[in-house]
Amino acid sequence: MNGTFYLITEACVPLKIYITENKLTDKQKDFVVSWGLFQLLSCLKFLHQEAELSHENIRYSVYVTESGDWKLGGFEKSTVFSNPCTDLNSFALLTWEIFNGFNESITKPEAPKRVPQQLHVHYKKMATNRAAKLDTGELLKELRQTGGFFKNRYVDILLFLDEFQLKDAHEKQSFFTELKNELDFFPDNIAKYRILPKLIHSYEYGDAGSHVLMPLFRLGRLLDEDEYQLRIVPCLCKLFSSPDRVTRVKLLERIDEFAPHLTPQIVNERIYRNVASGFMDTNPAVRESTVKAMVSLADKLNNQNLNTDLMRHLARLQGADDQPGIRTNATICLGKIGCYIDPSHRQQILISAFIRALKDPFPPARMAAILALSATQQYYSLIEVANRILPALSPMTCDQEKQVRDQSFKALHGFIEKLEKASENPELIAELESQVKAGGKSGLLSSDKVPQWASWALKSLSGKFYSSSMQNQSVLTQKQETPICESKPSTKTSSELKSCDTAPEKFANDDGWGELEDNLSVENEEEWEDANDGLTTNTTNMNGKMG
């Protein structure tokens, strides 16, 4: 433009600055240098064999990009190639400086000293006049053989990503399965600017499938919020629309890692409908993962999605699902999300739902109901406590499971104590009922002035979901990426527990909960821990364990 010449280059720093200023562990340094020297020697191979050029100034012409690539610049001294001696001597001297410290007063290679043992033989060849007879291509090949300095997982991973489109599906699956355990090898800048873009590109334009998710989420932590919104969120939206069950379940299981980055608009317009389809899935693992995951999204849902659609799904699952673990987790979900439900309907919804769960034939479901009632005690008026909650809890004191009986006594004592306090000091009634109609989204754990008798339930409910390992395995062991799969019935080993495997259809019809399907909600992700401690089940179908 107007006779001006513009030279545009990739952002980079001199190798000396990169090596001295980056805080690399010894192991990381060896890996980083092995990749860098591999790139430089590959460049020399091209210059010597294809371009027929000698660089003549390698020592002072190496630069490193933000993605960790070593680039060769400064071709002003290059000459027609005759033999590799000058370039390999300079390459050897640069190698010595990398490991022993940069020193411009040194004009020729010295004894290896700190140069890694794997490089000693080749270093000595390149550092002398014998380098004139060497072939850069052969050097590269030898150093990439087993035991060579360039043969390690660090170099292998970066080369695999460069050649990703040439790999078959099995190779890609194995690669991503191993990658999640090897990311600590990489400095943050390389993980962020080289590996992460490759992962995103591989998923969007390749067939990486669900195996890319774990390393993708781990590396996403390196991004600031603007970068996350730009690079990860669009990928997540696409992933949630996948018909592949394995992808969907893995997404749901890790939702607590990325949910904070999702805006309400993204959740309601691009994610919720795809996630909610899991409530109707024929596979129990998908339904269970969906129930758990919705807790992380609830505070971002609009009124229609939260208080109408989501609550309709939870009402159906809690009352009619044939998997007792899912019924249990639906109750836990409601307990966790009490603060999000529309205050004008919250009391009736929670009481009706938890009273119904008290009649569930599955012991952990009854335990969950007792804990949920106690943990959400601030949302119930004194009249409702006296007329509905206490009469519903009383039969639990005769439950066949001792832990259910023990927890019901704790809850009864707490609610009665609350009524006694109001009776003895009526001016406290307003304070005791201050949260019944209160709105806002403070969250379960941030509830103020939790009475001591309810703190045990609050802590338990804020722990982990109830989970069944068999259910989770049923979808993750599938090899086909298909949106439809029938769940398989399990064999019962005890007639007493057969009733636990069936949906409690009859007791769900007269509790008022079914009529309130259009008015519910959900809050925070986590898993269940305390609901089934000590509860004995003798059925292989219900081989559940507290997460």
| Angle, helices 469-476/245-253, rounded to nearest 10 degrees | 140
Give me the pLDDT at residue 126, please.
94
**CB-based contacts of 319, cutoff 8 Å, min separation 6:** 327, 356, 503, 504, 505, 508, 513, 514
Indicate the range of 50-64, 168-182, 508-522 predicted with least confidence: 508-522
pLDDT band at 452 (very low <50, low <70, confident <90, very high): low
pLDDT in tens, 315-352: 999 989 999 999 999 999 988 888 888 888 889 989 99
Polymer length of the chain = 547
pLDDT band at 436 (very low <50, low <70, confident <90, very high): confident
pLDDT at 73 over 50: yes
**H/E element, 12:** strand 12-14
User: What is Dmax (Cα atoms) for the chain?
Assistant: 103
62/279 Cα distance (integer angstroms)? 56
Domains and CATH numbers, the chain: 12-151 (1.10.510.10), 323-476+498-547 (no CATH)
Give me the pLDDT at residue 54, please.
95
Q: Is 72 helix (H, G, I), strand (E, B) or coil?
A: strand
pLDDT band at 468 (very low <50, low <70, confident <90, very high): low
* Share above pLDDT 70 across residues of the chain, in percent, rounded to a whole number: 80
Give me the pLDDT at residue 341, please.
87
238/198 Cα distance (integer angstroms)? 16
184/157 Cα distance (integer angstroms)? 13
- The average confidence (pLDDT) of the chain is 82
pLDDT at 517 over 70: no
Number of H helices, E strands in the chain: 28, 7
**H/E element, 70:** strand 70-72
Instruction: Output DSSP code: residue 83.
Output: -
412/406 Cα distance (integer angstroms)? 10
More confident residue, 375 or 440: 375
pLDDT at 169 over 70: yes
pLDDT at 364 over 80: yes
pLDDT at 510 over 80: no
